[in-house]
Amino acid sequence: MINIDSIIERETNLYIKTLLNTVDTKDVEIKMISAKGNVVESVLSIDEEIGIDLIILGAKSNSIRQEIFLGKTAGSLVKRTELPMLTVPDGYKFVPIKSILMAFKSGIVKKRASLKPLQFIVENFKAKVDILLVKTPNYTEEDMQLDKAVDKLKSSLTITENATTFQGVLEHINSFNSGLLCVFRRKRGFFMKLWEKSTILKSEFYTNVPLLIIKGK
């Protein structure tokens, strides 16, 4: 039998190199890493070996189902890792990010390092940050207090009352002309539905701008 693994690796690397040759890397060094097996396990292994600051991937992954917003690959990475992620919707054309909508139900941030991807985007694009603070039925007064680092980032603050953060975003997202949506990865937060399954349908939620997911605690 011929070595199928080596053939697949060679073909995959050739495909990636062909893609990279079409991109203006702006003198940024790009390294290719070949990994075999489960995507989540491969990502965790790479993170352990070299460290990952941010994962960028298509929101729908390779799914051909048009009704899918967040596919199994993206959904699994959100569920099973605490790495920050930037998901990009189908057909998205890059434009400089001028406005960011950041939504959460608690202003408590126990690890301020989790804000680094957001801070990096704000600093490099000189973007403004509109905060949407969602008061859910079990909120505490402490939840209503913004962490100092978050308060420093904010350009505006909107407080709304909804059953979940998810519903708060659905109700208000069209009120903001945002180029990026930012949410925390919390088990009982925006992506609570992902702990029931590994995908999110467009009928449940959809945004035509990138979604930045950062860990909350």
**CATH code, domain with 198:** 3.40.50.620
In one-letter notation, the amino acid at residue 199 is: T
> Rounded to the nearest 10 degrees, what angle do helices 72-80 and 39-50 cross at?
50
Residue 101 contacts residue 168 (beta carbons within 8 Å): no
Residue 173 lies in a domain: yes
Helix (H, G, I), strand (E, B) or coil at 51: coil
Q: Per-residue pLDDT for the chain (217 aa), expressed as one digit of tens each?
A: 567 788 888 888 898 899 889 988 888 888 888 777 788 899 999 999 889 999 998 876 555 556 676 777 888 888 888 899 999 988 899 999 999 999 999 999 988 889 999 999 999 999 999 999 999 998 999 999 999 999 999 999 999 999 888 888 888 888 998 999 999 887 656 666 655 666 777 667 667 899 999 986 5
Place of tokens 């054309």: 93
H or E stretch at 104: strand 99-104
Residue 27 lies in a domain: no
In one-letter notation, the amino acid at residue 154 is: K
Residue 160 contacts residue 186 (beta carbons within 8 Å): no
Residue 207 lies in a domain: yes
- Beta-sheet pairing, 85-88 with 99-104: unpaired
Range of the domain at 154: 99-215
| Separation in Å, CA 120 to CA 50, 114, 198 | 20, 11, 29
- Residue of 92, 59, 53, 64 lying closest to 75 (CA atoms): 59
Residue 40 lies in a domain: no
Distance CA 56, CA 33 (A): 15
Domain count, the chain: 1
Residue 208 lies in a domain: yes
H or E stretch at 171: helix 165-172
Tokens of residue 217, six digits? 């605690």
Residue 90 lies in a domain: no
Residue 198 lies in a domain: yes
Question: Which pLDDT value is given to residue 71?
Answer: 77
Beta strands of the chain (E only): which ranges? 55-58, 68-70, 85-88, 99-104, 128-135, 154-161, 180-185, 200-201, 211-215
Residue 111 lies in a domain: yes
Tokens of residue 135, six digits? 């008061």
Question: Which pLDDT value is given to residue 33?
Answer: 82
